[in-house]
Structure 1
């Protein structure tokens, strides 16, 4: 079947459930869906029916389609309509404040909030972080050098970005283990009570942190966000809380899995690891190909249709929840020939790992910089690094947003 021969979903075929098995075989399952139909209605583990758009051209168009809204209030109405049996407790003041970030906004609110934040992530400001990222990377590699075997996530991929983002925001580094526990619970789709507890704990901490920064501002980004104005406009309290939440989650979680997934792909393709070892300058190409090959974010965050829309010959009615399949689009053979081959010589330009359109990832430049430094210094320091367990037996976390390993033991050589 070609891209010009779409077929609507077969009503006799059960809707795929996005369960743990789906996540473990993400690319194989999406390849099946792309081949069968470009748009597939699926079912989350919690019972929410959701439409998934899977082909590159459709995903790219959907990411820029204003008919697919990101407004959190509208999304809540859609979810409540599809999942009528819910706790009707009037909402949660802490978790509601976490949701008020710009990824959950449409223009003009999104435009206003992004304008107040974007100045902190200009290429020049990000590049100014290079010496500190190099320094932190060297410290972590020095600590690893005394070991024969480490968990690459615990020893390297996690502490590097969390230290960078905590320093950037002016957050006490001693809380980084708390942030990791909260983040893991928030992104895990198996335990609703743990998710709510983590959301409330993190929000309470951020409320207190913001008040302390307001009273005693520093030179950090959070103090700058509190003071940021544009023609007299400032971020509201809830916008500040949710923005810091977003920067913390996006500022470390995606980079953790960028590094982990990149090394996993390189070890799965020993010739490409050898190429990087021979020429560490290929680290930039390795980051881009890793983002295409195994993006740390599986889907764009939840959208909903404000009117009927059609993609790939399939109409999605108004009032439906929608995922745009970033991981699927990046493996679409119509866009990238031999998409399941990891190739440092490939032109990975145009991949959608950071999204597209007005919601393009604000921290893409920082993630790229951290990833390039991390891969280059790792292969220079430990050129004989190898997996300590069979690669195919390493399991992915069960999340319908983040795609990353649970653990990654490696021999340093």
Structure 2
């Protein structure tokens, strides 16, 4: 684990960084807005420079380069010679451990070993086998509010549905939903570093206990699989097991909830698109790809490990680099009219990352999104945002809705 260097100032800038390139970090810790950031913040950043330098953008703990063009971000994703995935997330550092997210923070050749061990979990055949249980969980969640004529979609489905799926895959009781919700929110949208540290320590303690239980009583769940998995005579050590489970926790709970929230908000605000998908549910998978592009929500980081230049920007070993998919996927150099959602666009987007580190659970996330949206449109009549509703979005390394009040008439 590489420790962060701490915040810098204009007076202590590295020699290769020009003062003219320094700007405030656009996604600071704890910030929230009642504007739609995809109509205000994202377009403003896209109109700005191709890359800039922030003084404390790495989770408030150190300096960070921010790139916005899809071409540049994709080049960094693909370049494992000059850029490392290790320590792109702050969780191990916050907890004081010596582990990394597996396989998200693994570099080749270790990453190749980790992916070959985990790929069998997410094959199309295995994913198809869980369709029925995912559909049941979506229907169960929707059943709780479908006859009420209103809901807070974030609270009532976007958060609870993927957690229910995660609990099923981990063979954990549904009674843990509220605890997991609390931990997830403090990890993804902490009000302070102290709050993020508190949640990280709690999740690590829970996962260590769970790993211990599965060693004694293995079952047909993801943790039991990781404990017993073996590639060419080698399994995961304790730190790797913890890193794998923590990665599942973060990705399993947040990816679907964030994207589903923005996708349903779009349909609530664009009744013609909602009507089109109701009339032709077979279009939902393609529509979700376009919505994943338009409302990409995640910013990941890389660390430069070998001097290089990207689009005229000199990067030196130790530099941290932000790869904001909300900017890359709305890059006008890559997409025609990127601010316009075209449900039949079928874009090649970076919402699940790129290169060897493309999201391991992308197939599962897509299934959850397609099933969740299909079941929602089938169960509810046309819905819209409640009159006078004030919708708040959290802006950090994940752009996520805090609430989404919907109403409908039977």
Instruction: Give the TM-score range, shorter chain.
Output: 0.7 to 0.9
Using a 3 Å threshold, how does the CA distance of structure 1 residues 316 and 24 change in structure 2: closer, same or farther? farther
Using a 3 Å threshold, how does the CA distance of structure 1 residues 195 and 208 change in structure 2: closer, same or farther? same
Aligned twin of 1:50: 64
What's the offset of the Cα at 1:108? 1.8
The question of whether the paired residues in 2 share the 8 Å contact of 1:152 and 1:409 is answered with yes
What's the offset of the Cα at 1:33? 3.7
- Equivalent of 2:52, from 40, 43, 57? 40
Secondary structure in structure 2 of the residue aligned to 1:111: helix
The question of whether the paired residues in 2 share the 8 Å contact of 1:150 and 1:411 is answered with yes
Q: Distance in 1 between matches of 2:271 and 2:99?
A: 42
Aligned twin of 2:86: 71
Q: Distance in 2 between matches of 1:256 and 1:98?
A: 26
Aligned twin of 1:409: 405
Which runs of 5 or more residues in structure 2 are unaligned? 1-15
Aligned twin of 1:375: 373
What's the offset of the Cα at 1:253? 0.8
The question of whether the paired residues in 1 share the 8 Å contact of 2:214 and 2:224 is answered with yes
What's the offset of the Cα at 1:213? 0.6
- Equivalent of 2:73, from 51, 55, 59? 59
Q: Distance in 2 between matches of 1:275 and 1:136?
A: 25
Q: Distance in 2 between matches of 1:248 and 1:47?
A: 23
The question of whether the paired residues in 1 share the 8 Å contact of 2:33 and 2:393 is answered with no
Q: Distance in 1 between matches of 2:229 and 2:402?
A: 38
What's the offset of the Cα at 1:25? 6.0
Using a 3 Å threshold, how does the CA distance of structure 1 residues 30 and 143 change in structure 2: closer, same or farther? closer
Aligned twin of 2:43: 31
Q: Distance in 1 between matches of 2:199 and 2:137?
A: 28
Give deviations 1:308-363, integer Å, cap 9, x for gaps.
Answer: 22222222233211011211010011111110011212122x10000011100011
Using a 3 Å threshold, how does the CA distance of structure 1 residues 196 and 214 change in structure 2: closer, same or farther? same
Which runs of 5 or more residues in structure 1 are unaligned? 1-7, 80-89
Q: Distance in 2 between matches of 1:47 and 1:136?
A: 39
Using a 3 Å threshold, how does the CA distance of structure 1 residues 390 and 98 change in structure 2: closer, same or farther? farther
What's the offset of the Cα at 1:179? 1.4
Q: Aligned Cα RMSD in Å?
A: 2.4
Using a 3 Å threshold, how does the CA distance of structure 1 residues 22 and 70 change in structure 2: closer, same or farther? farther
What's the offset of the Cα at 1:97? 5.1
Q: Distance in 2 between matches of 1:151 and 1:130?
A: 25
Q: Distance in 2 between matches of 1:138 and 1:71?
A: 39
The question of whether the paired residues in 2 share the 8 Å contact of 1:95 and 1:203 is answered with no
The question of whether the paired residues in 2 share the 8 Å contact of 1:30 and 1:54 is answered with no
The question of whether the paired residues in 2 share the 8 Å contact of 1:97 and 1:241 is answered with no
Q: Distance in 2 between matches of 1:304 and 1:387?
A: 41
Using a 3 Å threshold, how does the CA distance of structure 1 residues 61 and 153 change in structure 2: closer, same or farther? same
Query: Could you tell which deviates more after superposition, 96-105 or 52-61?
Result: 96-105
Secondary structure in structure 1 of the residue aligned to 2:180: helix
Q: Distance in 2 between matches of 1:259 and 1:407?
A: 12
Query: Could you tell which deviates more after superposition, 11-20 or 138-147?
Result: 11-20
1:394 maps onto 2:391 in alignment: yes
The question of whether the paired residues in 2 share the 8 Å contact of 1:265 and 1:342 is answered with no
Give deviations 1:185-235, integer Å, cap 9, x for gaps.
Answer: 111243111111111111111111111110011111211111111111011
Give deviations 1:53-88, integer Å, cap 9, x for gaps.
Answer: 11011111111111111123xx69xx9xxxxxxxxx
Give deviations 1:89-128, integer Å, cap 9, x for gaps.
Answer: x966x55256343211211222222221111111110111
Q: Distance in 2 between matches of 1:284 and 1:106?
A: 32
What's the offset of the Cα at 1:36? 3.3
Aligned twin of 1:110: 111
Give deviations 1:128-147, integer Å, cap 9, x for gaps.
Answer: 11111111122222221231
Using a 3 Å threshold, how does the CA distance of structure 1 residues 254 and 100 change in structure 2: closer, same or farther? closer
Aligned twin of 1:238: 239
